[in-house]
Amino acid sequence: MRPDFPMPDPDWEPTREFWAGAARRELRIPRCNHCGRLRWYPTEMCRFCQGEELTWETMSGRATLFSWVVVTHAFLPQFREKVPFIPALVSLDEDPAVRLSTELVDVSPDQLAFGQPVEVTFRGLQFAGVEGSLLAPFFAPSSSC
Amino acid sequence: MPDPDWGRREELDDVAGAVAVVGVGESAHTKASGRTTKAIVAEAVERALEDAGLRPTDVDGLMYVPMPDQFDADAFHEHFGTDHSLWVSRQGGGMTGAAVAPAYAARALRTGQAHHIINTFGVAWATQRSSMVGGPGEAHVNEGFKQNLEVPFGWFPQPVYFATIARRHMHEFGTTEADLGAIAVACRRHANLTPGAVMRDKMLSLEQYLASSPIVAPFRKEDCCLISDGGAAYVMTTPERARDLRRPVVEVAGVGLGTSITGVHWAQQAAFTSTPQVFAAPAAFAMADIDSNDVDVYTCYDPFTIVTLMQIEDSGFCPKGEGGGFASSGALNFDSGILPTNTHGGLLSHAYVLGIAHVVEVVRQLRGEAAAQVPGATVGVYGGYTGPQAATLVLRAA
C-alpha cells in the first residue's frame, strides 16, 4: 500500500492523463483507436476489440446518476473526517456505459434520484493525516435543474 | 436484459459421477484467535481425514489457492511428519475454487496421479484485521485502476461496492431493504441452530434488522459478512473407492464456471446487478442433468445479502429481478422454504471462510447430518463467487 494512501498516484502511467487533466480542470477519458468506443478503465487492451492504441479526449463533464451509497461508517481512518459522504457511479453523457467512480458534493442524500443530471466540479482531494492535495473530478447536481 | 457480451462460460471437463466427497472437516470458527492460517487449516484437515477414515499417508493430492499462508505441501508434511509424494493443484481453496476443485481433481484421479485429494482453505483475517494486512480489502487497494480511480473517491472497500449494486437493484427491480433483511434473518436463524457458528448465540429478527442504522446505506451491518478466523477441508476420491470408505457417498454431479470480462472492475460491468452465475449455473445444471427445481438445498458465497439475492436469480431459482420477493416469502428457510439456502448461516452468520464451509454444509445435508437439516435432501448446490468469476457445484447423494 502506498504511503499516501488513499491519494492516487498521478504518475502511474495508465491514469496519468486523467489526473493531469483534472489538474487543468478537464475531464479526460480515452477512446479506443480501433473500435472507437470510450475505453474505461484505460487498460492496455480494449475489452471490446482487443485494440491497444487509444487517444485521450476532453469530455463535457455532464453525466447522470447511476447509483450511490451514503457512508456513515468509515472503514478506514483516512475517511473518518469525511463521514457522512456519498460515493457514487455516474454515467457519462458521451457514453452511459462509462461509469465514473466519484463523490457527490453540494447535495444531501434525500435529494438524489436515479438518472438525475450531474456535472463535474473540480475540488481539492485531501485526507486527514495524509500529506498533499490534488484537484479531482467530483460531481454535483447540474446547475441547470 | 444483460448485455450478452459482458461475460462467458468457461469450458470444464464433464466430471459428472467421476468424483465423490468422502470426508469433511472444519476448524473452530472464531473471532481473533491469534492462530496462524496454517495451524487453523491443519485442524480442519485432521477433522476431514478423521471423518473420511483416512490417514495422512493416504492423502496423495493437495489443493489450495495461491493466497498467502495457505496449507501447501510443505505445511502438510511439517504438520503430519510425512514425506511422501503429493500431487498439488492451486486451483482449489475457497470462493469459486471450492466449487471447481472437483473438476481438476477428476483429471488427477482418472490418470492415477492421485487417489485421495484434499482441498483446503483458511484465513486468520480476524487476527490480522488490526494491521489491515492480508484482509479482504488488500487486493483491491493494490490494483492500479481501483487505487487510482476508485479508492480516492471513497468507492472502496467491498461494502461500498455491493451497497452500490444493491441500490441499483432496488431501482431496477423494486427490491426493498426488508427483502435484504429477510436474507440476513434466515441466515442468522440457521446459524443459531448450527454448532460452531460464530453467531450461534445472537438472535436477529427482521424488526431488529430494520431498526438498526445503515453503515453504508442502503446496507446495515447485518447485510455484511463476518470477519473471522477459520478453515475447512474436504476429501475427494473416485466413487468406486468411496463405497469402501465409512461415510455415505456424495457424488459430484456437475460443475460450471463463468467469467465477467470486466474482472474486478465491478463499476464497469455492463450487467451491473448480475453475477457470472448467469453463465456458470446453467452449465453445471446441464452437466448434472437437473434443472433448478431439482435442487433441495442451496449454499452460496454470501459476502453481502445482495450477492445471495443475485446468485439466486442468476442461477435460475427465480426470474431475474424477483429475488427480493422470493427471499421475503420465506423461501430460504431450512424447514419451510422452497429453496433452503445457507442452512449453516453462510458468511453472514456462520463464519467467513470464503465458501469452503458452504461445501462442507452441502455434504452434511446430503448425508442427513446437518444441524438445520432439510428433510430428504438428495441434490445440493454450492454457488461460489469472487466478483470476476462465479462457479456452481452440484452434489448428489449417491
Question: Catalytic residue among B64, B209, B234, B301, which?
Answer: B301
Which member of B5, B261, B267 has the closest CB to residue A101? B267
B89 in a structural domain? yes
Residue B3 has pLDDT above 90, yes or no: no
Q: What is the mean pLDDT of residues B106-122?
A: 98
- Residue B328 belongs to a domain: no
Give the 3-state DSSP-derived string for chain B, with helices as H, strands as E and coil as C: CCCHHHEEEECCCCCCCCCEEEEEEECCCECCCCCCHHHHHHHHHHHHHHHHCCCHHHCCEEECCCCCCCCCHHHHHHHHCCCCCCEEECCCCCCCHHHHHHHHHHHHHHHCCCCCEEEEEEEEHHHHHHHCCCCCCHHHHCCHHHHHHCHHHCCCCHHHHHHHHHHHHHHHHCCCHHHHHHHHHHHHHHHHCCCCCCCCCCCCCHHHHHHCCEEEECEEHHHECCCCEEEEEEEEECHHHHCCCCCCCEEEEEEEEEEECCCCCHHHCCCCCCCCHHHHHHHHHHHHCCCHHHCCEEEECCCEHHHHHHHHHHCCCCCCCCHHHHHHCCCCCCCCCCCCECCCCHHHHCCCCCCHHHHHHHHHHHHCCCCCCCCCCCEEEEEEECCCEEEEEEEEEC
- Answer for the pair B157, A11: CB distance below 8 angstroms, yes or no: no
Q: Say whether pLDDT at B154 is over 60.
A: yes
Question: Which DSSP string do the residues of chain A spell out, in sequence order?
Answer: --TTTTS--TT-GGGHHHHHHHHTT--EEEEETTT--B-SS--SS-TTT----EEEEE---EEEEEEE-EE-S-SSGGGGGG-SBEEEEEEETTEEEEEEEEEE-S--GGG--TT-EEEEEEEEE--TT----EEEEEEEE-TT-
Position B132 pLDDT exceeds 70 = no
Residue B58 lies in a domain: yes
Residues in chain A: 145
B352 is annotated as an active-site residue? yes
List all residues 6 or more positions away from B204 whose beta carbon is below 8 Å from its beta carbon.
B184, B185, B188, B189, B222, B349
pLDDT average, residue stretch B50-54: 98
Q: Is residue B43 part of a domain?
A: yes
pLDDT at B1: 40
Distance from CA of A75 to the nearest CA of B (A): 8
**Closest Cα of chain A to B124: distance in Å?**
19
Query: Is some CB atom of chain B closer than 8 A to the CB atom of A56?
Result: no
Cα B6 from Cα B139, distance rounded (Å): 23
**pLDDT average, residue stretch B304-328:** 98
Half-sphere CA count of B254, side-chain side, radius 13 A: 22
Q: Does A133 touch chain B (CB under 8 A)?
A: no
CA distance B148 to chain A (A): 4
Cis peptide before B303 (omega within 30 of 0): no
Q: Which residues, in sequence order, are CB contacts of A3 under 8 Å at separation 6+?
A: none
B325 occurs within a structural domain: no
pLDDT confidence of A76, banded at 50, 70, 90?
confident
pLDDT tens digits for range A91-103: 999 999 999 999 9
CA separation for the pair B289, B100 (Å, rounded): 17
Domain count, chain B: 1
Q: Mutation target for A interface from B8, B153, B158, B266: give the one with most A CBs within 10 A.
A: B153
Q: Mean pLDDT over residues B145-166, rounded?
A: 96
Comparing B325 with B132, the larger pLDDT belongs to B325
Cell of residue B109, nine digits? 484421479
Domain boundary assignment for chain A = 13-141
Catalytic one among B64, B104, B209, B352? B352
The tens digit of pLDDT for each residue in B64-108 reads 999 989 999 999 999 999 999 999 999 999 999 999 999 999 999
Instruction: Flag if B267 and A103 touch (Cβ within 8 Å).
Output: no
Cβ–Cβ of B144/A15 closer than 8 Å?
yes
User: What length is written for chain B?
Assistant: 398
What's the gap between Cα B283 and its chain centre? 18
In a domain, B206, yes or no: no
How distant is the Cα of B9 from the closest Cα of chain A, in angstroms?
16
The alpha-carbon gap from B42 to the nearest alpha carbon of chain A, in Å, equals 30
Cβ contacts of B159 on chain A, cutoff 8 Å: 75
Give the mean pLDDT of chain B: 96
pLDDT band at B141; cut points 50, 70, 90: confident
Q: Which whole number is the average pLDDT over B284-313?
A: 98
Q: Closest to B153 (Cβ–Cβ): which among A1, A87, A109?
A: A87
If you average pLDDT over residues B326-337, what whole number do you get? 98
Question: pLDDT tens across A6-33, in order?
Answer: 999 999 999 999 999 999 999 999 999 9
Domain that holds residue B89: 20-130+228-242
Mutation site for A-interface testing, chosen from B138, B148, B169 by largest number of A Cβ within 10 Å:
B148
Chain B residue numbers with beta carbons less than 8 Å from the beta carbon of A14 are 144-145, 148
- In sequence order, the β-bridge partners of residue B394 are B254, B381
In this prediction, residue B131 has a pLDDT band, given cuts at 50, 70 and 90, of low
Mean pLDDT confidence for B315-332: 98
The pLDDT, as a whole number, for residue A133 is 94
Task: Name every chain B residue with its beta carbon within 8 A of the beta carbon of A43.
Answer: 145
Distance CA B257, CA B372 (A): 28
Give this prediction's pTM.
0.97
Give the burial class of A16: count Cβ atoms within 10 A of its Cβ; 0-12 exposed, 13-18 middle, 19 or more buried. middle
CA–CA dist B70, B63 (Å, integer)? 10
pLDDT of residue B130: 59
The domain that holds B83 is classified in CATH as 3.40.47.10
pLDDT at residue number B135: 61
Considering only the C-alpha atoms of chain B, give the largest distance between any 2 of them, rounded to a whole number of Å.
Answer: 58
Q: What is the pLDDT of residue B4?
A: 58
In a domain, B112, yes or no: yes
**Residue A41 to residue B145, Cβ atoms within 8 A:** yes
What confidence score (pLDDT) does residue B136 get?
67
Do B229 and B33 contact (CB within 8 A), yes or no? yes
Among A40, A41, A86, A105, pick the best mutation site for testing chain B contact (most B Cβ within 10 A). A41
The better pLDDT of the pair B133, B160 is held by B160
